[in-house]
Amino acid sequence: MKNKLITIFFLLLFTKTIEGTLAEEQKKTLETTLKKIKKNKDEKLQIEAKQKIESENTIKQNIKFSGFIKLAAYDDTRQVYGARDDYFLLYPEKKELLCGLDKNAKAQGYITPIESRLRVDIDGPKIWELGLNGVIEGDFFGTNEENIYTPRMRLAYLNIRGKQFSILAGQEYHPLTPLKIIPETVSFNSGCPMEPFARSPQLRFTLHFPKINAFLCLLSQSPGEVTPGFEGCDCKYLRDAVVPNISLGADTKIKDSTLGCCLDWKQIRPRLKSIDETKTVSEMFASTSFCAYTSIDIPKAIIKGKFTYGNNLPELSMLGGYAVQKISGCCSEENTIANRSFSYTGLRAIAIWNDNTLKIHKRIEPGLFWGYTKNIGANDDFIISYKDSNGVTTPLTFTLTNATQIDYVFRLSPRIKIKEKPVVFGGEIEWTRARYGTIKSITTSNSNNQTVVATTDKGSLENLYSVNNIRFIATVSYNF
C-alpha cells in the first residue's frame, strides 16, 4: 500500500513536471512567434517608410516628344544664293555674262527632307517654389554645306519660372528673332533676308510686370550663324572681343495684339595680327541694331509686321556687315599697308515685312507675305580690298555673298496650307527680286605697287539692274 502511494506521488510529480516543461516551451514558442511577428512588422514598416522616402525624393518629370517628318520639293527659275542646296533661299544671283549670256539665268529644282524635326519638352519639378522646364530640338539641316543631312541642335535650353521673373539658359531664338512674330511662310527661309534670323547660346533674364515683359539677354554665336571676317565665317571674332552680344527688349499684350521692340549691341575683334603677320594688333568694332514688331490676332486673320535697322548683322542673314574704314599711315609711308592697324565702319540695312494668315476655314489656311530690305551703306567711306605687290588681294569688306552689290531685295509670296491632322500640305509661289549694281569706288596705288580700292560715296551703287526668281515650293509633313 505504501509502495503504491509512493508510485502515485511520483507519477503526479512527473506529470506536473512534464506539464510545466510543456507550458514553458509553449510560452517560449509563443514569445518567439510574437517576436517574429513584431520583427516582420517592423521590417514591413521600415520598407514602407523607405519606399515613402524614396517616393518623396523621386523627381517627377513629364517628358513629351513631338516634331514632324517633312518633304519639300522646289523649282527656281534662276540660280539663287542660299544655304543647304539653296533650300534656305535669300536672293537671286547677280548676272554673270559668259560670251554675252548670263550663266545664272538657268532654272534648278530639288527635293529634300532636311527640315524634318524632333523636339523633346521636359516639364520638371519645382525648385525653391520655382517652375522648371526644358527643351531640346534638332533637325537635319547641318551647320554648313559640308555636313548637310547631319543632325544639328536647333534649341537646347532650360527655363526657370517665378511669378515675377524667369531665367532662360541655353540656345534659343535671338532676341531680334522673336518666335511669336516669325512669318508663317511655307518656305524654310521664314522671310530672310527681310527677317533677321538666328538661334544663339544665351542667358536671358526676364521681368514680368502686370502689362509688360522686359528682358536683358547675354549672347554668343552658334556654329551655323557666325560673323564673316579675315579668317572666314567664325564665332571667334565675337569670342575674342570677350564681351558678349547684349540685347535689351520689352513686349506687351493689348487685347489680341502683341507689341515689342529690341535694342541689340555687339562688339567684335576682327583680327589679332596684321595682314603680313609681322605684328599683333588691337582692334575692336562695335555696332547697334534695333527692331520693332507687332502681331494682331483677330477672329478671321493673324496679321504680323516688323521693322529692323541692322548694323553688321550678316550672321542673322541680313544685308550689311562691316568694312575697314581707314588704314593707319598707308598713304604717307612705304611698305605700311600690310602691317598697319585698321579702324572699321558698319554696313547697314533696313528691312520691313508684313505677313497675313487668313483663318477662314478649319482646314484651309491661305496667307500672304511681302518684304523689302534696303542696303543703306555706311556712315563713312570704306575700303573694299587691298592688293599687295605680288598681286595677292585681301578683301577688307565682310558681308553675305555679293551683299555689298545689292541695292534692295523685294519679295512677294502667296501661300496655302491644308491641314488634315496629323498631315499638313503646303504650297507657295515665292517671287524675289534683287537689284544689283557696282559700288562707286576709286583705286589708288603707292610707290611699292600696293593697291587699295575704296568707296567714294559710302557704299552707294551705280549701273543698277534687277534680276528675278520665282520659286514654286510644295511640302507635305506628318506631325506628331
Report phi then psi at 89, rounded to 5. -80, 135
H or E stretch at 336: none
- Residue 265 has what pLDDT? 98
d(Cα 199, Cα 143) in Å, to the nearest integer?
12
**Of 335 and 367, more confident:** 367
pLDDT-wise least confident of 22-26, 142-146, 252-256: 22-26
Amino acid identity, position 163: K
For the segment 416-445, the average pLDDT, to the nearest whole number, is: 96
pLDDT of 217 higher than 70:
yes
Q: Quick check: 94 and 194 in contact, CB under 8 A?
A: no
**Of 82 and 328, more confident:** 82
d(Cα 312, Cα 399) in Å, to the nearest integer?
8
Nearest alpha-carbon partner for 384 in 326, 448, 452, 431: 452
Amino acid identity, position 5: L
d(Cα 319, Cα 342) in Å, to the nearest integer?
23
- Residue 125 has what pLDDT? 87
Highest mean pLDDT among 34-43, 118-127, 260-269: 260-269
Highest mean pLDDT among 89-93, 140-144, 230-234, 360-364: 89-93
pLDDT-wise least confident of 31-35, 291-295, 385-389, 393-397: 31-35
- Residue 332 has what pLDDT? 47
Q: What is the tens place of the pLDDT at every residue in 63-97? A: 999 999 999 999 999 999 999 999 999 999 999 99
The model carries a pTM of 0.85
**Of 44 and 229, more confident:** 229
pLDDT-wise least confident of 40-49, 108-117, 142-151: 40-49
- Residue 450 has what pLDDT? 85
**Of 244 and 391, more confident:** 244
- Residue 54 has what pLDDT? 53
Across all residues in the chain, what is the average pLDDT? Answer: 90
**Of 36 and 242, more confident:** 242
Q: What is the tens place of the pLDDT at every residue in 199-213? A: 999 999 999 999 999
pLDDT of 388 higher than 90:
no
Give the CA distances from residue 370 to residues 193, 303, 351, 409, 411, in Å, rounded to whole numbers and listed in that order: 12, 12, 11, 11, 5
- Residue 60 has what pLDDT? 74
Share of the chain above pLDDT 70, in %: 86
Share of the chain above pLDDT 90, in %: 75
- Residue 458 has what pLDDT? 94
pLDDT of 394 higher than 60:
yes
For the segment 223-241, the average pLDDT, to the nearest whole number, is: 92
Name the H helices within 58-168: none
pLDDT of 17 higher than 80:
no
Residue where the block lists cell 549672347: 219
Residue where the block lists cell 490676332: 297
- Residue 328 has what pLDDT? 82
pLDDT of 4 higher than 60:
no
Q: Quick check: 86 and 110 in contact, CB under 8 A?
A: yes
Residue 45 banded pLDDT, cuts 50, 70, 90: low
Q: Quick check: 384 and 306 in contact, CB under 8 A?
A: no
* Torsion from C-alpha of 175, 122, 419, 198, nearest 10 degrees: 20
What angle (nearest 5°) sits at the alpha carbon of residue 75, between those of residues 74 and 77?
150
For the segment 14-25, the average pLDDT, to the nearest whole number, is: 56
**Of 159 and 145, more confident:** 159
